[in-house]
Chain A
Amino acid sequence: MAITEAHEFFIQWHITERCNLRCTHCYQDGAKTDEFSLPEAMDVIGEVYDLIDSWSETYGIEFFPSFNITGGEPFLRHDIFDILEEIAGKGFDIYLLTNGILINQEKAQRLADIGIKGVQVSIEGPEDIHDSIRGKGSFKASMRGVKNLLDSGLTVTLNTTLSDINAAGFMDMIEIASSKGAQKLGFSRLVPSGRGAGLLSHMLGTERVKDLYGHIFSAKTDGITIVTGDPVASQMRSSPNGDAGDIACGGCAAGVSGLTILSDGTITPCRRLPITIGNIRTDSLREVWSCSDVLNSLRDRKKYKGKCGTCNRWAHCRGCRAIAYAYSQSKGENDFLAEDPQCFIIGNES
């Protein structure tokens, strides 16, 4: 029996941890140097293809499979186009996450020729705010890349990581995105891990998140589409009808619809949740997906703590596990099943 709805499954693949910027809030620490060779990278793509093919054939499930290719800065790998062409040749949708600085007209056109579905470029606010986080001159350099991408007909999302450093400037991003011609504007919340661990005090308070999200979703957007992977933000636009149940469907992707592979092969549940659950160089991705204690805990409602554990929106949300984990670490715990400390939606009252 085929599943009644197609199931999204994505691999976020950090093909390098090398980067040409040193952003203050980065969730990576830049320490991993043991990158895949090109033949190893081709093996990874083959394993992911076989994984999806096996699931589809065994369980009669239709998938929307995709790769999010990122770094570090992915364009620091000289063989990135070999990797992208192999992934595209296997039929996966491809999205790129980049700072855009290395994307000239020729590279942008090659991306368009490959059929890249979308490119997310990190922009932290107006130029002065962006440069204070990502380095002097980086705003203009990234925007040159954005122009090249748009000139090649690609879909571009400008994405902002929200903290109290840049929250006040986010509404200006609508005008910036519009003036540059970007089709989408995205946002995510700061996760104080990796190099960003020292920014814990810059996390937005619950009321500030609620107020900001309210402004974002009620703003006139000049035709710009607002997008976010933040499950709490998505719940603002959702009306619950009683308890959503005990099986995860939608919301946080960790354990449900995606996996992350780091540049040295480390497998984690999410790009921002730094808990090692295997290494693709030695472990079967298929076995990790079904047998990892961490992933199975993420799928188990009974194991969740605090307001996430009692929320009737659990199946569709589960909060941001990465923020819950990073915040719990700041209190001397290591609990990826803790409540999302910035959630302002009390599910049991809905």
Chain B
Amino acid sequence: MKKILSEKALVKEAALWDSLKKAAQQNPGKCRK
């Protein structure tokens, strides 16, 4: 069954990866456990 991503999920996903990008930029040289 094909799983379609909802519009709500796309908005949340974009915000999430935007914040994770910022974290990487604020922690140069450091995103893994």
Number of interface residues of B (CB under 8 A): 28
Inside 8 A of B4's CB, which chain A residues have their CB? 284
**Counting CB contacts under 8 A, is A4 at the interface?**
yes
Tell me if B21 and A287 are in contact (CB < 8 A). Answer: no
Q: Which 8 A-B pairs have the closest CB atoms?
A: A8-B32, A284-B3, A249-B23, A247-B23, A290-B13, A290-B12, A5-B24, A287-B9
A287–B16 Cα distance when bound, in Å, is: 12
Interfacial residues of chain B within 1-33, with CB under 8 A of chain A in the complex: 3-6, 8-10, 12-14, 16-33
A185–B16 Cα distance when bound, in Å, is: 34
Inside 8 A of A108's CB, which chain B residues have their CB? none
Partner of A290, one of B9, B23, B24, B27: B9
A258–B31 Cα distance when bound, in Å, is: 11
Q: Known interface pairs A284-B5, A286-B9, A287-B9. Does A253 touch B23 (Cβ–Cβ under 8 Å)?
A: no
Inside 8 A of A250's CB, which chain B residues have their CB? 27, 30-33
Tell me if A245 and B20 are in contact (CB < 8 A). Answer: no
Interface of B: prevailing SS: helix
Q: Footprint of B on A, CB under 8 Å? A: 1, 3-8, 47, 55, 58-59, 61, 64, 229, 231, 234, 244-245, 247-253, 256-258, 283-284, 286-287, 289-291, 296, 299, 315-316
Partner of A64, one of B23, B25, B28, B32: B32
* Interchain nearest-CB distance for A257 vs B (Å): 6
A231–B33 Cα distance when bound, in Å, is: 8
* Interchain nearest-CB distance for B16 vs A (Å): 6
Inside 8 A of A244's CB, which chain B residues have their CB? 27
Partner of B9, one of A248, A291, A316: A291
* Interchain nearest-CB distance for B3 vs A (Å): 4
Tell me if B24 and A4 are in contact (CB < 8 A). Answer: yes
A284–B17 Cα distance when bound, in Å, is: 17
Query: 18 additional contacts, CB 8 Å, given A5-B30, A59-B17, A296-B12?
Result: A3-B21, A5-B24, A5-B29, A6-B31, A47-B3, A61-B17, A229-B33, A231-B33, A245-B26, A249-B26, A249-B27, A250-B33, A284-B5, A287-B5, A287-B9, A289-B16, A315-B23, A316-B27
Q: Known interface pairs A8-B32, A251-B33. Does A287 touch B3 (Cβ–Cβ under 8 Å)?
A: yes
A–B complex contacts, Cβ < 8 Å, 21 sampled: A1-B21, A6-B31, A7-B31, A8-B33, A47-B3, A58-B14, A59-B17, A244-B27, A245-B23, A245-B26, A247-B22, A248-B20, A248-B23, A250-B30, A256-B31, A284-B4, A284-B9, A286-B5, A286-B9, A290-B9, A296-B12
